């Protein structure tokens, strides 16, 4: 059985996909200004950001919210 979530814009999006979108859309500097976390401001990389965000729910929520804003949801 496949669970459908037509009203959830995050459904099927991996955290890595979300980060790549945000980096392309805003760039690291703008992301660091919008979500004040060290992994966006100090030697940023996708891998270091993924590691931090997977362990830190409050930061992940902020990144997901920024993603939703960037796609107009």
Walk along the chain (73 residues) in steps of 10 and give the mean pLDDT of each run: 69 92 96 94 95 96 95 85
pLDDT of residue 8: 81
- The pTM for the full model equals 0.85
pLDDT of residue 10: 84
Domains of the chain: 15-70 (1.10.720.30)
The rounded Cα 28 to chain-centroid distance in angstroms is 11
Q: Where are the alpha helices (DSSP H) in 1-73?
A: 15-25, 28-34, 38-41, 46-55, 57-70
pLDDT of residue 29: 95
pLDDT of residue 22: 96
């Amino acid at each position: 059985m496949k669970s459908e979530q037509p009203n959830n814009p995050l459904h099927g999006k991996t955290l890595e996909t979300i980060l790549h979108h945000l980096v392309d859309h805003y760039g690291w500097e703008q992301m660091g200004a919008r979500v004040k976390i060290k992994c966006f401001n100090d030697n940023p990389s996708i891998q270091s950001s993924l590691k931090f965000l997977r362990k830190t729910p409050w930061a992940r929520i902020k990144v997901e919210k920024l993603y939703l804003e960037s796609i107009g949801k």
